[in-house]
Amino acid sequence: MTFSGHAPGSREYRRLIVGLFFAGIATFAQLYSAQAVLPQISSDLSVTPATAALSVSAATLGLALAVIPWSMVADRIGRVPAMATGVLTATVFGLTAPLSGEIATLLVLRFAEGVALGAVPAVALAYLSEEVEVTHAAAAAGSYIAGTTVGGLLGRIGSGIVGEVGGWRAGILSVAVMCAAAAALFLWLTPRARGFVPGRLRADRGPGILEKLRAPLRSPLQWALYAQGFLLMGAFVAVYNYLGFHLSAEPFVLPAWVVTLLFLAYLAGTVSSPWAGALASRIGRFPVLLASIGVMAAGAGLLLVPVAAIVLLGLVLFTAGFFGAHAIASGWTPVAAGPASRAQASSLYYFAYYAGSSLFGWMLGLVFGAASWGWFVAVIVAMCAAAALAAVSALRGAPTGQPPS
């Protein structure tokens, strides 16, 4: 009998969702552990805020460059073995990076860590779309994105709290140890793939990698989805990179531990990503995507108010909107691409996503350092508007890969 995907309520479905939840923790806690201690890195290594932020951008750049090669590896050896290899290798680099004595060494190790971490975002959504019934693919993707938000939160909160007591090195190291445990749970829980046969086990290898990449690159729909990742992720990482510096200065002058706790706003994404996926299953992906971008832009506007409570509200809305939009765009990409180039389409999305993170996470630091906070926020809102324009131009009425309800 042809395998049509695991159904919600089945043992395999639960293990798949929980396993990928821990993969998201193992990946994104490591990726963003440096973000909460950027002021300490800047002070301890005597570098500017924009240079300190390169410790985040180096990891995301490595990830961006690695996602397409990882999709090729996954096609060859299988989805779960590729993710397992990447997560375990990244954990080794994560345990080594805090030993760095200078910024150059830290950046090299963080770049290598990002390359290894690329396995999970390159493969996870393709794996989900192959292993879950098509009618539940959007909701399952939202659940996976929720795991990535928990990972990002734990990485920031853990390194920030431990780092305030023991320094930035202890903060990053504590997160790497936690990620090793999460990686072990991922390996234990995740079921073997049934909806995909690795290339090494197939007599017919199918189209080559260039052909698989060519198909999504010819699609205006895919380009519009990649624009969502590039622009929205760039805006998101830039806000989280530099908000701590902004809140540590006048008129706020908040202590480091309070700034660290603001990362709890990440929980808004944990709620909004599965909610957006479930809502998209009922009313369609396009309206949920546009609404999420609107919430994100509104939250960014509130960051201009010089009142800490209003800034926190703005950060919650900004985060919820971002993760809602990301859950829709990232889940839409492999489904719309079709089975022949599913992993490559997903990898291209994440290439754009992390390229935006690396570029804008550093470049908007120059805006932050040279201009006012108001100009910084204006650029963030403009990036949200550009993403919405791309969505309207190519995604309105586009097929979503879901059967009609």
Q: What is the pLDDT of residues 90-110, one digit of tens each?
A: 989 999 998 888 899 999 999
* Residue range 40-45: mean pLDDT, rounded: 90
Is the pLDDT at 72 greater than 90, yes or no?
no
* Residue range 29-56: mean pLDDT, rounded: 90
Mean pLDDT is lowest, of 71-75, 180-184, 373-377, 396-400, for 396-400
Q: What is the pLDDT of residue 201?
A: 46
* Residue range 172-192: mean pLDDT, rounded: 91
Residues 222-239 have pLDDT tens digits of: 999 999 999 999 999 999
Alpha helices in 132-264 (DSSP H): 137-166, 168-189, 209-217, 220-248, 256-261
Residues 193-217 have pLDDT tens digits of: 777 766 544 445 555 666 777 778 8
Give the C-alpha separation, 377 to 298, whole Å. Answer: 11
Q: Which of 29, 39, 35, 48 is nearest to 255 (CA)?
A: 39
Q: What is the pLDDT of residue 198?
A: 63
Q: What is the pLDDT of residue 59?
A: 94
Percent of the chain with pLDDT over 70: 92
SS3 223: helix
* Residue range 256-262: mean pLDDT, rounded: 82
Q: What is the pLDDT of residue 203?
A: 47
Q: What is the pLDDT of residue 130?
A: 82
Residue type, 97: A
Those residues whose C-beta lies under 8 Å from the C-beta of residue 117, and which sit 6 or more positions away, are 27, 30, 31, 59, 62, 63, 66, 86, 87, 90
* Residue range 393-404: mean pLDDT, rounded: 65
* Residue range 135-140: mean pLDDT, rounded: 75
Q: What is the dihedral of CA 22, 23, 24, 28, to 10 degrees?
A: 110
Those residues whose C-beta lies under 8 Å from the C-beta of residue 191, and which sit 6 or more positions away, are 6, 12, 15, 16, 19, 131
Q: What is the pLDDT of residue 398?
A: 64
Give the C-alpha separation, 384 to 278, whole Å. Answer: 23
Buried b vs exposed e over 156-180: b needs ≥16 C-beta within 10 Å? bbbbbbbbbeebbbbbbbbbbebbb
Q: What is the pLDDT of residue 164?
A: 86
Q: What is the pLDDT of residue 86?
A: 93
Q: What is the pLDDT of residue 122?
A: 79
Residues 350-378 have pLDDT tens digits of: 889 989 988 998 899 899 988 889 999 99
Tell me whether residue 264 is exposed, middle or buried, using C-beta atoms within 10 angstroms of its C-beta: 0 to 12, 13 to 18, 19 or more.
middle
Q: What is the pLDDT of residue 206?
A: 57
If you compute the radius of gyration of the chain from its CA atoms, what whole number of angstroms results? 20
Structure tokens at 83: 């993710």
Q: Which of 152, 329, 174, 157 is nearest to 256 (CA)?
A: 157
Chain mean pLDDT for the chain: 86
Which helix (H) or strand (E) segment holds residue 271: the answer is helix 267-283
Of residues 288 and 50, more confidently modeled: 288
Give the C-alpha separation, 367 to 377, whole Å. Answer: 10
pLDDT confidence tier of residue 253, bands split at 50, 70 and 90: confident
